[in-house]
Structure 1
């Protein structure tokens, strides 16, 4: 007779267990109200946490900037005009930016718009290249789909911290998307009011309220579409930071030489054919 399988522990439970174990471990020592960085490293050594992870976590805590929620009326009702994510990763600032460019080129429909020292922005890829990328991605179900294509602008700011660490902030702008949803909601609401006025003009007052209610309902549903888009862009930013955090940053001399991809070859061939 086989013994029953031990119950599995999910990620949320694992986080609580680790947090509680750390509390029990620190409870055996008099840590006081505050600790110096060296004391934190010593405590982490007792618990068994490698020093480089503690160093990275402390830098992330020191440089973290709390995101200010959009307190405007439109922001509270419809959704944010921008989303952001930030993290401290291992690597020099120039290597982080180089890795981000490679990630965006491979996993998102974004193209570099501007680039300066420690700062880079992307805009959506359009035209034939975007169509080809979408077509090939639809055939490969093993990879997550593009997550940042609804953002009209993605900006990365990379600040060098201590040797070997950089602070990365990613911001995705959604003002155009939010504006389009506001315009759509206004159109639906206006059609409802206009239809009600026409019905009232024919003396059908009993049913004149129906178009107004229907227009208001459609407008509300339409406006609710902004937050799922913002959540997906937020997830896309976090996914890029996960890549950097899990060893995606490579020094320039370790990167292999990259040849032209399929899209580049197709685009060059089309340019050659169209060239007079």
Structure 2
């Protein structure tokens, strides 16, 4: 029997999956053991298959978030990062749970199995200050609704961890600021434009009305762009922070603050 070229393997597996889902007796799921048997039969590296299974299991089923033209144009309502790191799920979550309150100003929300979530401390004024930086570093995660870590073991020494930050609340707040800005501009336009309407019959009135309209439209557009840019910058910083946390886990450094400055910052944020 002729071997199947590597370039055709993906197409063969995709077609087999398609045929299975269209048959009347197709099953809804397959056990991990059976999947590994199939992978072995087609010549796939089982270590890679186990890692793929772990990565799939680590995906967090996010709840449906509010959507709309203005919300969607602002940016995503969640940001995530995923990595394969050394350690067992319990060890990784223990290190994160020790780190989050001290260095990210987040408190534990709940833990179920190998999944744990944190939320901002109920200290709005402190979080406001920390979001602008304390001790020379920013706390970019204090504005999230929650951060969830999902860890799945690959083997006894490695695990796949996925960090997901839910920022739907921050996106709604930014949308509300846009709506408020538009409302203020409309109100100011009405206050200025209504008296001018009586002068439209003259050239002066028409010019003033056109100028006021151009100013209101331009201010609204520039304000919208500024708020959208600020939101996306915040999203980028949050994503970078999640990646940095994964870097620390990957290098097995996410344990104690590395220097005196970080220890002082940790004590400040824990108050």
Same fold (TM over 0.5): yes
Query: In 2, distance between residues paired with 1:75 and 1:129?
Result: 26
Q: Deviations over 1:212-238 (max 9, x none)?
A: 321232122112211111111111111
Query: In 1, distance between residues paired with 2:232 and 2:165?
Result: 13
Deviation at 1:262, TM superposition (A): 4.8
So what's the TM-score if we normalise by structure 2?
0.63
Deviation at 1:83, TM superposition (A): 0.2
- Are residue 104 (structure 1) and residue 86 (structure 2) matched? no
> Are residues 72 and 124 of structure 1, via their aligned partners in 2, closer, same or farther at CA, if it must alter by over 3 Å?
same
Flag the structure with more relative contact order, 1 or 2, with Cα contacts below 8 A and sequence separation at least 6.
2
So what's the TM-score if we normalise by structure 1?
0.62
Kept after mapping to 1: 8 A contact 2:71/2:175: no
1:226 alignment counterpart: 231
- State the secondary structure of the residue aligned to 2:252: helix
Could you list the runs of 5+ residues in structure 1 that have no partner in the other structure? 1-30, 39-54, 251-260, 268-276
Query: In 1, distance between residues paired with 2:182 and 2:130?
Result: 34
- Poorly superposed stretches of 4+, deviation over 4 Å: 31-36, 57-68, 128-131, 261-264
State how 1:1-276 maps to structure 2 within 5 Å. 36-37=44-45, 63-64=54-55, 73-74=69-70, 76-127=72-123, 130=126, 134=130, 138-139=134-135, 141=136, 144-203=137-196, 204-209=208-213, 210-248=215-253, 262=267
Kept after mapping to 2: 8 A contact 1:90/1:164: yes
Kept after mapping to 2: 8 A contact 1:91/1:164: yes
Kept after mapping to 2: 8 A contact 1:109/1:146: yes
Count of aligned residue pairs for this structure pair:
203
- State the secondary structure of the residue aligned to 1:171: strand
Q: CA RMSD in A?
A: 3.5
- State the secondary structure of the residue aligned to 2:247: helix
